Homo-oligomer: A and B are copies of this chain.
Amino acid sequence: MPPSQLRKTRASAAGAAPSPALGAPGRRPTPAPAVEQVDTGYLETLIGYNARRAALAVIDRFMVRMAAFELKPVDFSVLSLITHNPGITSRQLCNALGILPPNLVGMINALERRKLIVRQPHPRDGRAVGLHLTGTGQKLMRDAERTALEVETDASQSLSATERQTLIRLLKKIYL
């Protein structure tokens, strides 16, 4: 998904220029204009638009680099939470990542088939299953988290260290 061509130009002076209102029957003052340079100025004033574009840009880089580990972003998130929360349950993963339980089952099964994680009985709840990394999984995640750090550095290379911290702080204020 190439989100190219997102420069700002004034083709229609965003917000002004009432334009002739086509569709009104029997009226067509101008012979239909053509757009030379697309003006995305208005959308660029919206936080949601900018946050989504930024997220997609970083995630695209992330996917390219993580392909070497055969991990999609969601797989990495799941394995990372298991790494830092040994014994975490599927339900806890779903709550933390906003995934619905039926959609997590397949991912967990695939990671288990790859011998990256194992299911252990939960110590206090017979319904639940605790998830743990295998040795293989631990090794993979050490490499994967190092690569994730490289992606971060790449993606934020136009930001100073302070700006990067500020960006993360402000993003958290939006979603927390």
Q: Enumerate chain A interface residues (CB-CB to B < 8 A).
A: 1-6, 11-12, 14-15, 17-19, 21-24, 31-35, 38-59, 62, 73, 77, 80-81, 83-89, 92, 95-98, 100, 115, 118, 120-125, 130, 132-138, 145, 148, 151-152, 155-156, 158-159, 163-164, 166-168, 170-176
Contacts and interface: CB of A to CB of B under 8 A. Distances in A.
Given A2-B98, A47-B168, 20 more contacts: A3-B98, A4-B95, A5-B96, A22-B135, A23-B133, A23-B136, A32-B123, A33-B123, A34-B87, A35-B86, A46-B152, A47-B54, A47-B171, A50-B168, A50-B175, A51-B51, A53-B175, A155-B174, A163-B170, A167-B167
Contact of A133 (B4, B22, B84, B136): B22
Contacts of A148: 46
B41 A84 contact: yes
Contacts of A100: 1
Nearest to A132: B22
A125 B173 CA distance: 47
A47 B167 contact: yes
A59 B50 contact: no
